[in-house]
Structure 1
Amino acid sequence: MTRYVAIGDSFTEGLGDTLPDGTQRGWADLVAAGLAVGEKQTIQYANLAIRGRLLEPIVTEQLDAALALDPKPTLLSLNGGGNDMMRPGGDMSRLVTLTEMALRRCADAGVPVLLLSGADPSERLPFGSMMRRRGEMLTEAMRPFADRFDLTFVDVFHDQEIRRGAYWSADRLHLNAAGHRRVASLALTALGHSTEAHVIDPGPEEPRRVLAEVRYYREHVLPWVNRRLRGHSSGDERTGKYLDWVSIGAA
């Protein structure tokens, strides 16, 4: 039986793919459901990801909890570093080192890994050029890990389709439901499950208007800056949504 555990930040928690009851779904939940359908049997799934988390607690606290699950995972997905990249003076070499240490721990534990680079939000962000530069560095440094650790690597960062605005939430930083479906289809295909990549109607890109930009900065950028200045995170006092195995059926 497949036992899939996901660790990471808001990308893996599923922020932006909000269900009618207010809960977050996201690509990892969709991958779990896709694995169950593909294997035609119930699988076990855990998701320890927490929004706002930096890479170090992901590859220490979350990874510790993931490897301690009983029975142990047969697949672990890892993504992180996006929050680190937004901090001043972000050290990409340190992120690569932390990722390599985590992958070595998984290899030593005999747990296969699905490693993903995050989607590229840089085209519509005020600090976009810095984000793209750092994202390029981190993604390219991770690519050789596929052969070194015999893992599955999904390069979402260079997926051109998902860079379109229609795949992103109003904050321009998190994917929406369509974006998470796109990532899930890429991941399932990489894992060997024949899945058509999710694509939405192209349509025209929404033009940027002055009032809309002012509203965006007021509703999304300034609150983020205020949290940073106060040393707070959107994930403070939160836990992962599935801390132990839950059953995901094939239906």
Structure 2
Amino acid sequence: MTFTQRYVALGDSFTEGVGDEDESRPNGVRGWADRVAEQLVLADDSWGYANLAIRGKKLHQVLNEQVDAAIALSPTLVTVYAGGNDILRPKVDIDAIVDAYDGGIAKLRSSGAAVLVFTGFDSGQSPVFGRTRGRTALYNELVREIVDKNDAVLVDYWRMKILQDERYWAVDRLHMSPAGHMLTAKKVLEVLRGTDAIDLPELEEQRSRNRVEQLRRDAQWAREYLGPWVSRRLRGVSSGDNLNPRYPELIQPPLPAR
């Protein structure tokens, strides 16, 4: 099938769709990028869609493994977010990674594609990941400079304060829940000045917890998610090892049942 408009999504777990489980789809996830593609096709069936993002990828891997592959698909629209996994490492040179990012965004723009870039999320309320807030703030300022320099489009994820609500996050507290992915898809389409028919789910009532309940909940999370995450980092392995891109070639995205 020939597509006159071609959307290619690049990045890590954020763009792959982790947290928005759907066993009927490649890698068992759906995510905001799929949801954006679905809405683009509903408005105009000339759109094709590819998703090259793989969980766990650091910025240099996204640039080295995905940018040329994306350009080979002759995209008219590219979305990209990279750097989050670098920021979470014990040591990172923010200036260096963003300088490399600048080169990748420039290369994508030189292909003729419109490029949409995200700032990082404000994790200030997280007792664990909140320690990286200063790094993310610096990263974001440099990303904004990249966007201006390359005439790209920005989704300011940092300023989406509604996502501070834990109900928009998966149980691992690192990836968005389906509701978070839906909200992000609506924001992306808003920035692209596209229409959407995404109905956000009604969130469950958030009950208060006493200190003992919260400590018990935090301990369970540390055992089931934080511990394995730290272990992978220490062993130099990634949750994305042995995974392939979900949609490496342009497809008409699977549309949700009405």
**Common fold, TM-score beyond 0.5?**
yes
- Partner residue in 1 for 2:36: 31
1:175/1:249 CA distance change after superposition, 3 Å: closer
Secondary structure, in 3 states, of the residue corresponding to 2:158? coil
Secondary structure, in 3 states, of the residue corresponding to 1:62? helix
Equivalent in 98, 112, 122 of residue 96 of structure 1: 98
CA contact (8 A) 1:119 1:163 kept: no
- Partner residue in 2 for 1:14: 17
CA contact (8 A) 1:182 1:199 kept: no
Number of aligned pairs? Answer: 247
Question: 1:97 and 1:199 mapped to 2: Cα distance?
Answer: 39
Residue range with higher mean Cα deviation, 1-10 or 205-214: 205-214
Secondary structure, in 3 states, of the residue corresponding to 2:117? strand
Question: 1:28 and 1:19 mapped to 2: Cα distance?
Answer: 14
Deviations 1:40-80 (A, max 9, x none): x24110000000000001012111111122xx111111101
Equivalent in 122, 125, 128 of residue 126 of structure 1: 128
Question: 1:222 and 1:239 mapped to 2: Cα distance?
Answer: 25
Deviation at 1:201, TM superposition (A): 4.3
Deviations 1:106-135 (A, max 9, x none): 12222210111243344234131x222111
Question: 1:109 and 1:177 mapped to 2: Cα distance?
Answer: 32
Deviations 1:186-208 (A, max 9, x none): 10010011458958548436536
What are the within-5 Å matches in structure 2 for residues 26-175 of structure 1?
A: 26-39=31-44, 41-69=45-73, 72-128=74-130, 130-175=131-176
CA contact (8 A) 1:121 1:172 kept: no
CA contact (8 A) 1:118 1:157 kept: yes
Please list every run of 5 or more consecutive structure 1 residues that lacks an aligned counterpart in the other structure: none
CA contact (8 A) 2:48 2:253 kept: yes
Instruction: Output the aligned Cα RMSD.
Output: 2.1
Question: 2:207 and 2:140 mapped to 1: Cα distance?
Answer: 27
Please list every run of 5 or more consecutive structure 2 residues that lacks an aligned counterpart in the other structure: none
TM-score (norm 2): 0.88
Secondary structure, in 3 states, of the residue corresponding to 1:101? helix
1:126/1:206 CA distance change after superposition, 3 Å: farther
Question: 1:146 and 1:199 mapped to 2: Cα distance?
Answer: 32
CA contact (8 A) 1:85 1:135 kept: yes
What are the within-5 Å matches in structure 2 for residues 226-245 of structure 1?
A: 226-245=231-250
Amino acid at match of 1:218: R
Question: 1:200 and 1:94 mapped to 2: Cα distance?
Answer: 42
TM-score (norm 1): 0.91
Percent sequence identity over aligned pairs: 36
CA contact (8 A) 1:47 1:242 kept: yes
Deviations 1:221-242 (A, max 9, x none): 1101111111111111111100
Secondary structure, in 3 states, of the residue corresponding to 1:248? coil
Question: 1:27 and 1:215 mapped to 2: Cα distance?
Answer: 28
Amino acid at match of 2:150: F
Question: 2:216 and 2:71 mapped to 1: Cα distance?
Answer: 48
CA contact (8 A) 1:7 1:47 kept: yes
